[in-house]
Structure 1
Amino acid sequence: MAPLMNLRLCNLSIIVSLFCAPLSASTLVEPELATSMLQNHEKHFEKRIVKVAPNVYTAVGYHGATTSMIVGDDGVIIIDTLMGPTSASNALNDFRKYSNKPVKAIIYTHSHGDHTGGAASFAEGNKIEVIGHSNMGHHHGTDKSLDTVMRLRDIRQFGRLLPQEEQSNRGVAAAVTIDHDRGKGFIAPTFTISKPHKVTISGVDIEIYPAAGETNDAMFVWLPQQEVLFSGDNFYQAFPNLYAIRGTPYRDVRTWANSVAQMAEFEPSVLVGGHTTPIIGQDSATTALQDYSEAIQSVFEQTTAGMNKGWDPITVAQSIELPKHLQNKPYLTEFYGTRAHASRAIYAGMLGWFDGNPTNLNPLSHKQSAENIAKLAGGSAELFKQFNDAMKTENYQWALVLADHLSYLDNIDQQAVKKSKIAALRAMAAREYNAPNRNYYFTYANELEQGK
């Protein structure tokens, strides 16, 4: 299994080095390249069981996340349980090809539903130990009054309603997963930890370490005998989602970097991420963690340096570059998170909405700005002509800006404006290799087309 995975990683590395050196803060490339990159990345979501150590098996592609089985003397231990009973049962059925021993314990690396929702299928009606963080589930920080907008933006980010021809993937998951029973197999932890904990289950020595990052209730699991580390969602083979465009409270970037650096100190022989393919080999696994931590820390340091220079959030975000030795690492390609999104989140998380420019203390309404821009252009018709010129020259981001101005004007055909914006959104989507961005563009275009 290891040679096959190494070949796949090598192939991805070649594609990244040839086509995707991230020298700017943009994830826009030519449409054919964007499609090729995303298709190649989907190898990480192929359904299979990977034997990562003599008694450790990881299920990839049964849902977006991974689930793992550790075989002990008289039972097995499960690390994370997928989204719901169906996906969990599918994984368990294939795990049973390697061991029929009963499940003795489940360990949650964090509380996201795609890691906790299928526990009941693994428990099979038995009372078992379920281990989680003492703060489990308190990381979201999003007020329930925002459920409506959060659901809408979740659908957009993950492309949940996209037609097949517009689907690619979700950055760390396939485009389509089994979600109809999401969360229905959740079992609350029977034992919680808030500090490092060592335990032996079925003869297997296990160490569990709280390690906040993507969530405050994150933990990683270390098997000292097998030298296998389960990182949860603090590592996967894509640039980390330091900010999710569906909407999240500030994720402490420094803490995330430190948690990944702590994992690297164990020098694991196997690294099992919360999503995507496990990395096998001590040098490869350890280097990946070191690089990941350094990349996160670099984005933080560059962002705060720009903030201290008085730069606005967009200027800061567009200036962020990874150190050269990290720029072609396949697991840092921006299929999921991006440096620009992360930088803007750091800015807002640490300084709030105000960018320091007094012009923005009392802004004009969008309608007022649009009317003034139209006057400068020589009228609404001329502004529309400028939009069409932008489309012809493939300046699609500028076209979107102009379309937004046009949408606030009264003396223009708004159906034509809407059609024009849809075209610009789809042009942007076709050029995106960042899956959340791509899905958001396509979904928003479809919503406009459907009159939503």
Structure 2
Amino acid sequence: MLGAVFIQSCEQAKEVNNNKVNIEQGEHPNITKLKQQSAEFTPDIIKLNENVYVAVGYDGSNASMVIGDEGVVIVDALRALGAAENVAGKFREISDKPVKAVVYTHGHADHTGGATAFIGESKDVKVIAREGFKEELQENSPVEAILKIRNGRQFGRGLKAEDVINRGVGPGITSSDRVGEGYIKPNTTFQGELKINLAGIDFELYAADGETNDELFVWIPGFETLFTGDNYYKSFPNLYAIRGSQYRDVKSWGESIQKMASFPVAYLVPGHTRPLSGKDEVHENLTNYSDAILSVFDQTIDAMNKGYSLQQTVDSVRLSDDLIHQPNLQEFYGSVPWGVRSIYLHYVGWFDGNPSNLNPLSGSEEARRIIELAGGEQAMYKQLNDAIATGDYQWGLQLADYLMQTDYQKQSVINSKITLLRALASQQINAPARNYYLSYAYELENSSKG
């Protein structure tokens, strides 16, 4: 078994080496695709049907208005109060009925920060969420300090506007006008499911673990409309956030999408990206989404049970040919390898079963020995420059990390790492990865100047 694994790993390594791209070849096709994804975030108030309107592109997520005989219901409330006030004004031009309820699909700040803008002068407004709402968020973590830094890198918050293409599921620039200042704490929570009449409309709310453990989806049978929250958007899902997050239950996520697909949905409203219309299109999108998620989960578990190491498992998992080219499964936001790593570590922890990894050398000692094996610092430095010249950027990045454990050509090595980070960014279809590479490059550049 181990021999077969080794052969497979070697074949995959060859495939990786064949995918080198030189920085001088012009814009990478992945960057072109990521730029095209920005069309999803063109600011617009989209009329789905006579009763449902969706605001897209005004902030990092969507907000929706559902019009009933007795008033309106708001589903999700954006991140910044300023953006929410803008959208609320546009909604009131369509209907000036009072807001009877606000439904939060989950606790992420980009869906909750502008609620007061929508409520206005309305009285006795229900604010509905699942039990356990916001419990897993960054601000409740003992490592909030580093999560905040990583969050900034993932979303490119410290980058110049011209360096950010988009955020994968949101525009490159989002509102910073009174971020979170419109948040209102829920006054109505539920477990499992809640069937409730709001503004004269029958709503069905279902607990649906996925991107968060407080996620829900909203089904309005009378309007054949379903709001997915962040369990669906037009990108391969972010099964693991590189900013750092608790485990996202991948199996439950896929099953939540399967449940959504069981309803006769004619209008689908994602938490991000533009809505979908038409029962066939909606069903196809939900079905391929759940198939992709569950395929990654099943393949990962299968590889683990075969005794694969973490990296061998990552190398072995891929989407099938009928899924990998689907427009709603491109890796603009989530990444198959990141999801695989998250599943693997969730089930077995940091130890991958290889005894060599029980008590590894320290980083500095490993670097010293690898440099010595390469023929010394000068020889490795030459290999680093060769990697840059030939477009072997990931290998170059790893070589730079070894040399940074020493004082050899320190500033030059840092400069090389900056070059490599930017080169890797120039190839990314995944917006968080691109933003993270660029953010880290800027941090290195600024620290070396200091």
**TM-score range with shorter-chain normalisation?**
over 0.9
- Counterpart of 2:402 in structure 1 is 405
1:318 and 2:315 aligned: yes
1:53 to 44, 49, 55: 49
1:79-104 per-residue CA deviation (whole Å, 9 max, x = no partner) reads 00001211111111111221111111
Give TM-score, length-normalised by structure 1.
0.92
Name the SS for the 2:142 alignment partner: helix
What is the CA RMSD across the aligned residues, in angstroms? 1.8
Offset, 1:142: 7.7
- Counterpart of 2:241 in structure 1 is 244
Unaligned runs of 5+ in 2: 1-14
1:364 and 2:374 aligned: no
Over 3 Å counting, the alpha-carbon distance change for 1:28 and 1:138 in structure 2 is: farther
Question: Contact 1:24–1:321 at 8 Å: present in 2 too?
Answer: no
Question: Contact 1:106–1:119 at 8 Å: present in 2 too?
Answer: yes
1:327 and 2:327 aligned: no
CA distance in 2, matches of 1:65, 1:25: 37
Offset, 1:373: 1.2
Over 3 Å counting, the alpha-carbon distance change for 1:24 and 1:48 in structure 2 is: farther
CA distance in 2, matches of 1:123, 1:26: 56
CA distance in 1, matches of 2:161, 2:147: 24
1:233 to 230, 241, 247: 230
User: Size of the alignment, in residue pairs?
Assistant: 429
Offset, 1:207: 0.9
Question: Contact 1:219–1:231 at 8 Å: present in 2 too?
Answer: yes
CA distance in 2, matches of 1:444, 1:156: 7
CA distance in 1, matches of 2:350, 2:53: 46
1:269 to 266, 270, 274: 266
- Counterpart of 1:256 in structure 2 is 253
1:427 to 423, 427, 435: 423
CA distance in 2, matches of 1:99, 1:228: 19
Offset, 1:348: 0.6
Question: Contact 1:253–1:297 at 8 Å: present in 2 too?
Answer: yes
2:209 to 205, 209, 212: 212
- Counterpart of 1:299 in structure 2 is 296
Give TM-score, length-normalised by structure 2.
0.92
The 5 A counterparts of 1:371-390 are 371-390=368-387
Question: Contact 2:108–2:137 at 8 Å: present in 1 too?
Answer: no
CA distance in 1, matches of 2:179, 2:299: 39
Name the SS for the 2:186 alignment partner: coil
1:50-81 per-residue CA deviation (whole Å, 9 max, x = no partner) reads 11111110000011111100111131110000
Offset, 1:308: 0.9
Runs of 4+ in structure 1 deviating by more than 6 angstroms, as ranges, are 23-30
Question: Contact 1:141–1:249 at 8 Å: present in 2 too?
Answer: no
Question: Contact 1:47–1:61 at 8 Å: present in 2 too?
Answer: yes
- Counterpart of 2:280 in structure 1 is 283
**Matching residue's letter, 2:362:** S
Name the SS for the 2:151 alignment partner: helix
2:437 to 433, 436, 441: 441
CA distance in 2, matches of 1:374, 1:284: 55
Offset, 1:32: 3.2
- Counterpart of 1:13 in structure 2 is none
CA distance in 2, matches of 1:36, 1:305: 35
**Matching residue's letter, 1:135:** G
Offset, 1:44: 0.7
CA distance in 2, matches of 1:89, 1:250: 34
Question: Contact 1:103–1:122 at 8 Å: present in 2 too?
Answer: yes
Name the SS for the 1:132 alignment partner: strand
Over 3 Å counting, the alpha-carbon distance change for 1:24 and 1:122 in structure 2 is: farther
Unaligned runs of 5+ in 1: 1-22
Offset, 1:347: 0.4
* Identity across matched positions, percent: 45
